[in-house]
Amino acid sequence: MNSIRMRANAIYLLLYASGIYGLVLWPPVRGFVTIIAEPLRRGVAPVLVHLPLSVRCVVALIVFDALAYWVHRAAHAWPLLWRVHRVHHSDPDFGPMTTFRFHVLEIAWRMAAQLLPLYILGIAASIPSSVWAVLLAFNVLAHSGLRWTFGPLRGAIVSPAFHAQHHRSETAMHFGMFFAVWDVWFGTAQRSKPASQTPSITRSPAAFSIQESITRRCFTRSTERTTKCAVTVSPT
Ligand SMILES: [Zn+2]
Ligand SMILES: [Zn+2]
């Protein structure tokens, strides 16, 4: 890893760890989410708020993760979103530090999109911060570069090998954050067992434009077409 890349990753980590996103981004995002959620919330029966905390946490995890899948997929599909999401993919040294490498605008819009349903359901405030901490730790593991596939759970839970395939792949696949089932159900999972090897991401700026054009051309709901795109492009 050269020193410039190392410094860039350290800055992203520092921004995250300093809590500046929470201080600067969260108030306007929360304001926006509250404005949108309030009128919608009135139409939803407050069933979930009376359920045990453990059930609310499971529901929150499922809803949040389903949204994470779709916003990630959208980030690869729409050129404007890809412009900010490609920051995450611009790390040639895939590893735990990649977890924190996100454009500030992506953090803001993903926060809003993924938390909005929890506000509408009225359960956002009751989810303990430990749940988010576990999700973050899991995300660091997904970017660890380890060869773990989680064996029989590989189609259910995102493993390090599963997410590494997303970073390595020139196709649009493996968008899941925690549950891999979204990819399986919506046709963006690799059919064969994911290669359990550390991704060799050495994309140059030139390769970026290739990645960008691939993303624009190949994002599709059909695994079949995704595969077709995969074979027309040489790995960089
Ligand atoms: Zn991505
Ligand atoms: Zn990633």
Cβ atoms of 13 and 97 within 8 Å: the answer is: yes
Q: What is the 176 CA–ligand 2 centroid distance (Å)?
A: 10
Place of tokens 């899991």: 138
> Rounded distance, CA 119 to CA 11, Å?
31
Predicted confidence at residue 220, as pLDDT, reads 40
What would the pLDDT profile of 120-149 be if each residue is shown by its tens digit? 998 998 999 999 999 999 999 999 999 999
CA of 88 to the centre of ligand 1 (A): 7
* pLDDT of 236 over the 80 cut: no
Residue 179 has pLDDT above 60, yes or no: yes
Burial 118-155 (b: 16+ CB within 10 A, else e): bbbbbbbeebeeebeeebeeebbbbbbbeeebeeeebe
**Above pLDDT 70, what percent of the chain?**
79
Radius of gyration of the chain (CA): 18
Give the domain ranges of the chain.
3-232
Is pLDDT above 60 for 57? Answer: yes
Query: pLDDT tens digits for 197-225?
Result: 444 443 333 333 334 433 444 334 434 43
Q: Phi first, then psi: what are they for 103, rounded to 5°? A: -65, 145
What is the pLDDT of the chain when averaged over all its residues? Answer: 81
CA of 125 from ligand 1 middle (Å) equals 28
